[in-house]
Structures are given as structure tokens and as C-alpha cells.
Chains A and B, each alone.
Chain A
Amino acid sequence: MANSRSRGSESSHNFASIVLGLCLACLPAVSHAANNCAWLNEATASGFLGGDAVGTFTAAAAGQPAICAFVDQSAAATRTLRITVEVAADPHARMMDALARDCGADAAPLKAIGNEALVCAADDRKGGLGERVVGRVRDQVFTITIGTTLKGDPILTRDALTAKIYSAAEQVSGNLF
């Protein structure tokens, strides 16, 4: 009989027992000001970015969308998750404008996100990878971008970004419904 093991469970458990033992003393230092993002909390954003993200929220004003921005800043990389939400009179048209602006022609439809949504790559010119979703829930048009400045980022690989952007879109659109 093959001596198979659950994926990662043994290694994660050994690592955890070491880490937690050292980490308990660190926990009281983990505190941030409350983030007012209505569509994602910092813990979830941290999970997406693979680190301890700090969030800021800017309310919508003067034709500008509301923005939640989460940043996980380390020496090696800046990983970001950015959400914009705006209410539009013609939300489908507004979404298509955002799509043209933020994705160009390379967007692919995403099933079961909001009323409708599309996903595209959002890589930066310096080799950092990113993924972006543009979508809408009723009259609310949203964009979500996850990216990293680190070329070859071991946490935000292309595959990981593909999975995370869908999950982030599900979180955000779920909260927008």
C-alpha cells in the first residue's frame, strides 16, 4: 500500500508547531486601525496577498469611485489588492468603458460573478504580474486588481493569481449584492 500523505498536512503541522510557539509573543503586536472597506476585510486581503496587508478606504466623491486599497509591503515586493466601486446610471455601458480602459481586448468572461464580469491580465511593465476583474452587481460597477512588483514572485504566481482573482471577485461581488 502506498504510503501516501495528505498534501502538505504533515509539513504544515510541523512548521506550525514551531511557528506558533514563537509567534504567540508576536500576536499582541499585530494591530491596525480599523479598515472601512465594505467589500473585503484586511484578513481576507492578507490571505490573498500572502502577507500582512494594510488597507485604506477612500469614499466615492465627485465622480470618482470608492476605492479600497490593500498593500503588503516587504523589502522584496509590493503586493497590492485594489478595489474600485462606482454606481452608474447605465452600469453595463459603464462596465464596458472600464473594461476597454483597464483590460483592452484580452478579457475573458467570468462565470457566476455578479451580474457579469470579465478577467484579464494586469501585468506591469517591469515584469510584475497582475490580474484584474471588471464586473458589475446591479448598478454597481467594480474593478479588482491583484498584483505584485516582484518578477517571479513565489506567492503571486500566474496560477495563484488566477485562482485568487476569482476568489476575490466572489468576495467583493458577494458583498455588493
Chain B
Amino acid sequence: MRKIANALLVVAGLLLAGYQLAPALAQDGAALTPPPAYTPPPKGAAPAVDTPAQREALAKWKAKAEQRTEADRKAYNSVVTPSYNFHYGPKNPFTPGNVQVQGEGFLQPGAYPSAEYCGTCHQEAYSQWRQALHSNAFRTPFYRTSVNILIRDKTRGIAFARHCDSCHNPIGVLGSALTEDSKVDRAKFDSDGLTCTTCHSVVSLDSTNGNASVKMGVPAVIVDENGERIPGEVPFDMILRHPERHSQAVMHDFLHKPEFCAACHKANLPSPLNDYKFIRAFTAYDEWQQSKFSQRNPLTFYTADFTTCQGCHMKRNPITLPDYGAKNGTLVSHRWLAGNTAVPFYYGFDQQLNKTIEFLRAGNYLNVDIFALKKAGATNSPEPDKLIAPLGKVSYSLAPSDVVEAYVVIQNKNIGHSLIPEVRDLYEAWVEFTVKDANGNEIYHSGFLKPDGMLDPRAHSFTNRPVTNEGEFVDNHKVWTIHSVAYDNSVQAGRSVLVRYQFRMPADADGAVTVTAKVNYRHLRQSYLNNIFGKDHPAYPIVEIASRSRVLKIGENAPEAADPADNPDWMRWNNLGIALLDQFQYAESIQAFTEVIKLRPSYADGYTNVGLTEIVWEKYGSARTAIRRALSLDPGNARALYYDGLLQRRAGNTEQEIADFRKVIAMFPESRDARRELGITYYQQNDNQAAMEQFEALQRIDPDDLTAHYNLSILYRRMGKPQEAAEQQAMFVDKKVDPGAPTYSLNYLRIHPEISTESIPWHLHSDLVNDVGGPQNGK
């Protein structure tokens, strides 16, 4: 009897731990068994019709599966619930994450069909997924190091890690693994991170709040003839007989939409995590939504075809392994190629690494333009400080000992989000600028790597610096300690940055010098790699994403042929104008946009760009002239209408102001800026209902918009909705900027002069600090 009881306990333990009683399979996919034979029906063929006996058998299977799943779940919960740490209360078992699950209680890990099960028929998808970031979302040392710090933190602990693991290991979170003295066998799911049936079991998207804002269904790979889900694994022949039912169970329209990606690629640090306040962590989704690719934002500088996250990161490719999900021999990529070279490098996933590098170097995401020169402080020059631009199109001369300032314009041309997105404090993208003489000797070098692998601290880096309330850099991703961001040098989608370098031509310079600007990328920052591995780790890959070189001759330089990757001249000036605008150099920005107008006199956006710069500069009179010119060229131009609306408000022409914003919204109903401004207009007109409608629409687009929270808190109170008003007020208070935040940032910048320079938008990179025109002279 004791032996039987022990045996039963063994199996119960196995089942509760999620063990499928299936042989183990190698993780690299090589050991997957061949797929069952299958001949797809002809395209357009009607689904197979089941006989009454088949329908009855399916109904019985479904009933058994439901009963078993429910019983397993109850039994599982009876074991794990008593010892679970309900730190945030019994109604919030997964807080600070936003993930939810259908049904009562935790969901046992064994409810999820394994990736190897799915991979039997979907071998291409499996082999890609296995090397990609989603499957490795939890187990990598890059993630484990930072989440372990949180788990070990004496003021926090594993319950707080539900915030992180809601996206990185939802099976663990939903299965109660994130508690002290966990009763869960973690080996069954930790190494699979986001397995197939995590994404493919999501039944609804709760919001675009992020932090895993989805509802997970009980996993099912097939539905019955009524569309009702049948939980768990089923025999393959059941799927192959009704592939349309398989598709109905695992495919949803939202899987193709950016809002699905937003569930995790939008994150915040809520007060239950940091005991402080809402802090925006990152939001690739909102960056995309504001980019040209969403076609939802009328204010972008450029336009593009509609492209989703999936459009770039899940391109359709020919298959090399059997996959019954393929269409015409192609499958949407389950590699999700992006910037992460660290994970494939660590795991030896060479295919993934090579394809990632290929993706980064696709050539058209960034444009690097050595746009202009200035010969600084050249008193013998007839036009000191004249901008020699655009380089390649104008003649100029250079002499030995000339102090030269190079204007490098880097455009985020075709990335659907910022450079660098998401956890940019850990990633490292920077500009490497070199000047070499005719013999290859280095005259100037910014953005070099030191012997210890650390980046030149004065390099121009597209990163940010999160700091604590003591002004200390959060070097090791202790996100719950972040109170401010000392600076953020990311380049938003469609915008450009101007990086200026100053160097002196050698006194004995002869022939020519070559200037090169490269944008390099390393995943991850060297000091973070040192945190993970100690300092004795291999050098992680550095990828050159884009670069441009120019040869500057001593003596006369004539115009030269453009490089095929160069932008047309009008765009080169336009990008300079955008960069100067973001660096608060309004006069120079307008000059640059004026050059665009000279080259393209019928380009309405040229005038709009002048107008918007003048609005920011508070020169409303000349702004009106520019915007009116834009509208005369293109009366229905939403971008120009938006800025005209702002100018009409300034002039007190409310009717026209409203008309302008309404026209913009008619063309771009998801324009958060237009919704916000029209809401403000109605608010100012005491039209509470209309204002409320606009702010509610804005809140549907962006649940975290501060203006919406603020105004709705007032409007709801006026409309007699005190509960709603209080909620909006609380959200506003939680999300608004901490007035002390600049202090934390300044404390950090004060003791890091090399970074404090980088934090000033208009800054110069130079070694000539005690010479003419160097940073000390405030240039």
C-alpha cells in the first residue's frame, strides 16, 4: 500500500509540475521527430465534414479534456495557493505585472502544450523561435542577473519580480512560481520563456498599458465545431483533419497588430514596484504610433507606407524546414530580428547572430551624413564661421593648421521607433568619428573603445542615464531605484541629430585627410556585461550599422558625385533643420528649412517646418506667414492645419481653431496631438462635454497621457462624476513628473562632467579645449 501511495505521489508530483510524460527533446530542434504526413486541402476547399460518430467522439474528448484540465487546475491550486505570497492582496496575485488569466486561480504549467509538440508540425517556426529572443526571454544571464538582484533585495523579493516575469516568463507568473518556497518545478518552462502557447493562447488584449496587459486563455490548439476551445494537447490527426479549427484556436487578428506587441513592448515602473510613482520605462509601441509608419500621426516630418512592428520584425521568408503553417513556401519570421546580438552570441546560435547582424546592417535604417564643415576661428578667411554645405555639392578650401568643425547629421530614417529603443540604458549605440591623414595616421578619434572594452566616456552615445534619488547612475538595471533620467540622447523615429566634431588639420598636412562617421551598436554596454560575468568575458559583437566617409583635400575641394546611399540635397538640409530645431538653434534651423524651400519651392512641408520652428521660438507673426504659404500650396495638409490651429488660438480665432483641429482629426482620428489640442480648445470654451469626448479619445490612444488625466479629473467633477474624477486625479498625481527629479539629474551631472556635456543638446566634441573655439569658449 505504501509503495502504491508513493507511486501515486510521484506521478501527482510529476503532473502538478507539468510533466507531460514525454521523452525529452534537444533544444536546438535537431531531435524533433518528423511531422506526420499531411496533404493540405486545395485552396478554397470547404472544411472536412465530420460524421456523427466523429462529432460524438470529439464531444467526448472535449468533455474529458475540460474535466481533466479543471480537475488538474483545482488540485494544483490546492497545493500551491496556501504557501503563495499574496503580497499585493488576494485579488492581485500577479501585480506588479498586468497579466491576467481566464478561470479561477493559478494556471498549472502542464496546461501549456510544449514547444516540441507544436514544433512537430511547425519545424521552421520552432527552429527560428528556439534561437530567438522570445524563447530565451527568461533564462539568459542578461535577464537573470538583473531580476535576481530584485529577488535578493531585502526590501523587495520575488513577489516584486512578477513585474518583470509577467513578460519574460508568464507561465511562471501565472503558475504561482514567483513566491518564496515555490512548489513549482521550474525546469519544465524556464528554458522556454515565451513559448508558442503563451502568445498563441492570449485571448484578449486588455489595454495598451503594457506590463503584459493581456488575458491568457487556458491553452487550446483546436476548437470544436461550435468554436469552443478544447484545452490541452490533442492528437495530431485531429488537427490535420480540421486545420481551420486549429487556426481558430491559436490565431487571432490581434496577433498581426502592433497593439499585441505593445502588451510587453511597452513598460512602466508602477508604484507597487518602486514605492515611489509611475515611471515610464519604455514604449516602442508609442514611438511607432508617433512614427511615419503608423500613419496615425499627422506631424511626422516624412511619410511612409503603413508598416507594423510585425512588418519589420516578422518578415515573411522562404522555409528551410517542414512547416504546415507556411503559405506558398514562406512563413512569417519567428526570429523577430532586431538588435540583440548578445543572446545568440552567448548561446552559440550562429544563424540568429548572423541574421541579426544582417538585419542591423540592412543599410537603410539610418543615414549618416557628413553634411558640413566650418573653419572655426580662421581670421584670415573672408567668411569666418561660414557653413560649407552641403558637402560634396560646394567648393571649399582647406589649409594646414585649419581648425575644422564637422557637422555630422544622423537621421533615424527608417526605424519605426527610436534609436535606441527600450532599455537604452543597457544597450550601446554611438558615433565613432575619425580623422586620418593620407598615411592612415589618426588625427582625431571620438567614440573609441578603451583597452578594457569601455566606450570613450565623451563619445556621442544614443543612450540615457537613469539615476536614483541620490543622483547615482543605475548601472545594473535596478529599475525600482530609478527616480529620474539625467539625459536621454535617443533619436526618435523620423528625426535627426547633429553631432559636431572639432579638430585641427596637421600643420604639416599634405594631400588629404579622411573623415569617417560610423554608428556602432553593441548589445550590451560593457559595464553591464561586466556586472553579469565579471570582467573576464569575451568581447561581445559590435556592429557598424551605418557610416559615411569623406576625403578633405588640403587646398581646393570641388563638388563630387553623391554616394548612392546619400539623401537628396533637400532632405539633407531638412534633416539639419530638424536636428537644429531639437537643439534649440531656431535661427539656424529656419535657415536650413529655407534652403529646403529654395530647392523645393512647391513642397508645403518646407514652409510648415519653418512655421513650426517659429511657433516654438514664439515668433507667431512670421509663423503665420509660413503656415499660410504651406496651406496655399496644399490646403488640406493636416500637418499645416494643426499648426494653423495653434496660431488661430493665439490670435483668438476660436472658430477657425476648432475647424482646423477637427479637419486634422477627420484625417487622423488617432492623432494624440490633435485630440489634446481640440480638448484644450473646448475646455477653454467651457464646452465640457465636447472637451471630455476629446480627452477620452486621447486616453484611448494613450492611457498614460498626463493632459488627459488632468483635464478629465476636472471635467468629470464638473459633470457630476466624482468617482471617475478621483481616479483621474490619482493617476495624474502618480504619473506627473516629480518636481525633485531635476535635482537628482543635476546631482549626477555635476559629478560627471563628461556626461554633463552630452546632456546639453548643443555641444561640441573636441580635444581642442584650450585652443580656439573649443568647448570652454561656450561654442
- Residues of A whose CB lies within 8 Å of any CB of B are 1-13, 15-17, 19-20, 22-24, 26-27, 29-30, 34-35, 41-44, 46-48, 50-52, 74-75, 91-92, 111-112, 114-115, 137-139, 159-160, 163-164, 167-168, 170-171, 173-175, 177
Contact = CB atoms under 8 A, between A and B. Distances in A.
B13 A30 contact: yes
Given A43-B183, A111-B348, A139-B534, A19 B235 contact: no
A6 B79 contact: no
A4 B236 contact: yes
B21 interface: yes
A46 B234 CA distance: 27
Contacts of A92: 536
A99 to B, nearest CB: 17
B21 A8 contact: yes
Nearest to B180: A34
B68 to A, nearest CB: 6
B9 A12 contact: no
Interface residues of B, number: 66
Given A17-B64, A20-B72, A44 B38 contact: no
Contact of B235 (A6, A112, A160): A6
Contact of A27 (B38, B78, B537): B78
Contacts of B532: 177
Given A16-B68, A112-B348, A47 B188 contact: yes
B8 A26 contact: yes
Contacts of B14: 47, 50
Interface of B: 3, 5-6, 8-15, 17, 19-24, 26, 33, 36-39, 64-65, 67-68, 71-72, 75, 78-79, 117, 120, 139, 141, 144-145, 148, 181-188, 190-191, 232-237, 240-241, 346-348, 532-534, 536-537
Contact of B237 (A1, A42, A51, A164): A1
Given A27-B78, A34-B181, A43-B17, A20 B71 contact: yes
A19 B10 CA distance: 10
Contacts of B36: 2, 4
Contact of A115 (B8, B67, B537): B537
Contacts of B38: 1
Given A23-B8, A41-B183, 8 more contacts: A5-B236, A17-B68, A20-B68, A46-B13, A52-B13, A112-B347, A173-B141, A177-B144
Contacts of A137: 141
The 4 closest A-B pairs by CB, nearest first: A4-B36, A47-B185, A5-B235, A12-B21
Contacts of A75: 3
A41 B184 contact: yes
29 contacts: A1-B241, A2-B37, A2-B237, A6-B234, A6-B236, A7-B117, A9-B22, A13-B68, A16-B15, A19-B11, A20-B71, A23-B8, A23-B75, A26-B12, A27-B78, A30-B13, A44-B17, A44-B184, A47-B188, A51-B13, A74-B6, A112-B346, A115-B533, A138-B533, A164-B24, A167-B191, A173-B141, A174-B141, A177-B141
A138 B235 CA distance: 46
Contact of A13 (B64, B141, B190, B536): B64
Q: Which of A6, A7, A42 has the most CB of B within 10 A?
A: A6
B232 A13 contact: yes
B187 A5 contact: no
A41 B72 CA distance: 21
A27 B80 CA distance: 11
A24 B75 contact: yes
Contact of B190 (A1, A138, A170): A170
Contacts of A24: 75
B185 A22 contact: no
Contact of A12 (B10, B22, B181, B186): B22
Contacts of A138: 533-534
Contacts of A91: 534
B21 A177 contact: no
